[in-house]
């Protein structure tokens, strides 16, 4: 730590404050210290830190998987946000399984992390009581379950899916397929995004045609999007638009459409959801909903950091849990036609 202090031209105490996530450090000083840490390859002795201060400076992140682009890019954003506060992140993929998520809640490396950011996919609302008696700070992500006992950062799923559907309706499309329906889900992202799709159609006096529903019983990967799109097309229903529940599904759907000789967006307009990096490089580039992923990551880390500090301050007053909704916007690219209205 003394070497880092000399390299950054600050005191050892300042280095300690930065690495402990102390809030009252100027951004320029924090950046200089973290640059020195990286340059020197300094590694924190977590065990010693816990012994001295009662905290590790490490936070946990439990997500379903890193292979799905949204979660991989979310993890990158959380790592960046945590690093800016001198925190390290221990990532635990839960594999879209109930067992994995229960294990993350029960034993999130309890001796090593000060708090947990948790994005469930298998646990459901009836499991929310599991969050009531946790003895560590937790920030919940996503829409799979809600609890008045913990802080929660989420996105505007209904608004995003409705805006995506409206974009196609405004362009004159009336036979809009939806890709990513889940048979087993009664809550969560798929249900909420379908609600947004329904609302957009109903506002124009258009009934939902069940033949336009593309179902998937697995994670939202490209292959599932292609299969769901094939099922819709094979039904014989006319299709001139597609709303996919994430960008990976949308890219798979575009592959299937183009393999059958359909032009995008001339024949079929396509909108995804998540604004992952791949959406900027697909052919054609993908119009998508940006759900505020960077905002979600930074707000979640900031809330968790403040909760961790409160636990170390015996005079801190208990604040009511926060429910934070990130902003969303449509990012228009080549996969959708120009609006006619």
Read off the pLDDT of each residue in 249-268 and give the average, rounded to a whole number: 98
% of the chain surpassing 70 pLDDT: 91
In the predicted structure, residue 201 carries a pLDDT above the cut 80? yes
Q: How high is the pLDDT of residue 291?
A: 98
Structure tokens at 125: 């609302």
In the predicted structure, residue 187 carries a pLDDT above the cut 90? no
pTM for the full model? 0.82
Q: How high is the pLDDT of residue 50?
A: 44
Pairing relationship of beta strands 329-331 and 287-290 according to DSSP bridges: antiparallel
What is the distance between the alpha carbons of residues 112 and 132, in angstroms, rounded to a whole number?
22
Q: How confident is the model at residue 95 (pLDDT cuts 50, 70, 90)?
A: very high
Q: How high is the pLDDT of residue 40?
A: 85
- The sheet with strand 176-181 has its strands ordered as 213-215, 176-181, 241-244, 269-273, 287-290, 329-331
Q: How high is the pLDDT of residue 210?
A: 97
% of the chain surpassing 90 pLDDT: 72
Q: How confident is the model at residue 53 (pLDDT cuts 50, 70, 90)?
A: very low
What is the distance between the alpha carbons of residues 254 and 249, in angstroms, rounded to a whole number?
9
- CB–CB of 301/81 below 8 Å? yes
> Which domains does the chain show, CATH number per domain?
1-43 (1.10.260.40), 54-155+293-325 (3.40.50.2300), 157-291 (3.40.50.2300)
In the predicted structure, residue 150 carries a pLDDT above the cut 60? yes
Pairing relationship of beta strands 138-141 and 151-154 according to DSSP bridges: parallel
Higher-confidence residue of 44 and 237: namely 237
Q: How high is the pLDDT of residue 293?
A: 97
Q: How high is the pLDDT of residue 213?
A: 98
Q: Which of 8-17, 233-242, 313-322 is predicted with the least confidence, judged by mean pLDDT?
A: 313-322
Q: How high is the pLDDT of residue 47?
A: 44
In the predicted structure, residue 218 carries a pLDDT above the cut 80? no
- CB–CB of 124/144 below 8 Å? yes
Q: How high is the pLDDT of residue 111?
A: 63
Q: How high is the pLDDT of residue 56?
A: 74
Q: How confident is the model at residue 41 (pLDDT cuts 50, 70, 90)?
A: confident
**Each residue of 282-305: pLDDT tens digit?**
999 999 999 999 999 999 999 999
Q: How high is the pLDDT of residue 185?
A: 60
> How many CA atoms does the CB half-sphere of 101 hold within 13 Å?
22
Q: How confident is the model at residue 38 (pLDDT cuts 50, 70, 90)?
A: confident
Higher-confidence residue of 260 and 53: namely 260
Read off the pLDDT of each residue in 152-161 and give the average, rounded to a whole number: 98
Q: 188 phi and psi, to 5 degrees?
A: 100, -170
In the DSSP assignment, the letter for residue 239 is -
Q: How confident is the model at residue 237 (pLDDT cuts 50, 70, 90)?
A: very high
- CA-wise closest residue to 251 among 274, 283, 291, 293: 283
């Amino acid at each position: 730590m003394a070497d880092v202090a000399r390299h950054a031209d600050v005191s050892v105490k300042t280095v300690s404050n930065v690495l402990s996530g102390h809030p009252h450090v100027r951004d320029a000083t924090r950046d200089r210290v973290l640059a020195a840490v990286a340059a020197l390859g300094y590694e924190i002795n977590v065990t010693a830190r816990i012994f001295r201060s009662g905290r590790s400076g490490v936070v946990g992140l439990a997500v379903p998987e890193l292979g799905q682009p949204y979660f991989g890019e979310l993890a990158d954003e959380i790592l960046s946000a945590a690093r800016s506060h001198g925190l390290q992140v221990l990532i635990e993929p839960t594999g879209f399984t109930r067992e994995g998520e229960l294990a993350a809640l029960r034993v999130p490396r309890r001796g090593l992390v000060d708090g947990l950011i948790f994005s469930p996919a298998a646990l459901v609302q009836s499991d929310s009581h599991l969050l009531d008696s946790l003895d560590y700070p937790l920030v919940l992500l996503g829409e799979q379950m809600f609890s008045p006992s913990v802080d929660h950062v989420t996105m505007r799923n209904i608004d995003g899916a409705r805006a995506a559907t409206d974009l196609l309706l405004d362009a004159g499309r009336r036979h809009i397929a939806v890709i990513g329906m889940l048979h087993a889900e009664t809550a969560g992202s798929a249900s909420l995004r379908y609600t947004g799709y329904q609302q957009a159609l109903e506002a124009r006096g258009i009934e939902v045609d069940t033949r336009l529903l593309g179902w998937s019983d697995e994670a939202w990967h490209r292959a599932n999007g292609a299969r769901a799109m094939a099922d819709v097309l094979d039904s014989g229903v006319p299709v001139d638009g597609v709303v996919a529940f994430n960008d990976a599904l949308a890219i798979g759907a575009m592959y299937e459409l183009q393999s059958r000789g359909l032009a995008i967006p001339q024949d079929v307009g396509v909108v995804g959801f998540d604004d992952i990096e791949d959406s900027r490089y697909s052919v054609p580039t993908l119009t998508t909903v940006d759900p505020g992923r960077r905002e979600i990551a930074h707000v979640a880390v900031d809330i968790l950091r403040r909760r961790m500090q409160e636990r170390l301050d015996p005079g801190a007053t208990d604040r009511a849990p926060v429910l934070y909704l990130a902003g969303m916007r449509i990012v228009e690219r080549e996969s959708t036609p120009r609006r006619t209205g």
